[in-house]
Amino acid sequence: MSFFKFDEEKVVSGFELVAEGKYEAIVLNAVAGKTQKGEDKITLDYEIRSDVPQKHQGAKIMFDTFTFSNEIAAGIVQSLLKATGFANGHPFQSPQDMANQLIGRSLQITVKHEEYEKLVDGKKEKRTSAKAKYYDKSVVNPPQSPGAPITVGSDDLPF
């Protein structure tokens, strides 16, 4: 028995680079860690919201890394926190606490393309990725969280 069988008819296509522009997004994942220099960092992944009419719904913008190592880096983090709706003076106990509190927050991100080189089979290849570069407050309502479960009893059924 094989682990996986290739079926050409089931190939998923349509993955495309997210176009540059502004998008309503949600923080899908956030993880604290350390840089190679041992400094604190957080890394965020965003999802372009599917509940808002816009292109690239459901697309992911991955690996947005923030450090706290200097005034400019800390200012960028401050911009992110403002865009995600934290109150002025809100305390965070640790980078992981900040990461945990960011998950699920909505904001507007400005996506820009970034070129880089990747080594593939011993050759450098140019690649382009979509990266979040600027952060603003969302201009739409936050996603609705599901309410309490609805219980339907036999008395509620028409049959």
pLDDT digits over 15-28, tens only?
A: 688 999 999 999 99
Reply yes or no on whether the pLDDT at 151 is more than 90.
no
More reliable by pLDDT, 7 or 11: 7
DSSP assignments along the chain, one per residue? --S----GGG------PPPSEEEEEEEEEEEEEE-TTS-EEEEEEEEE-SSSS-TTTT-EEEEEEEE-SSHHHHHHHHHHHHHTTPPTT---SSHHHHHHHHTT-EEEEEEEEEEEEEEETTEEEEEEEEEEEEEE--SSPPPPPP-SPPP--GGGS--
pLDDT tens column, 99-139: 999 999 999 999 999 999 988 888 999 989 999 999 999 99
pLDDT tens column, 57-72: 999 999 999 999 999 9
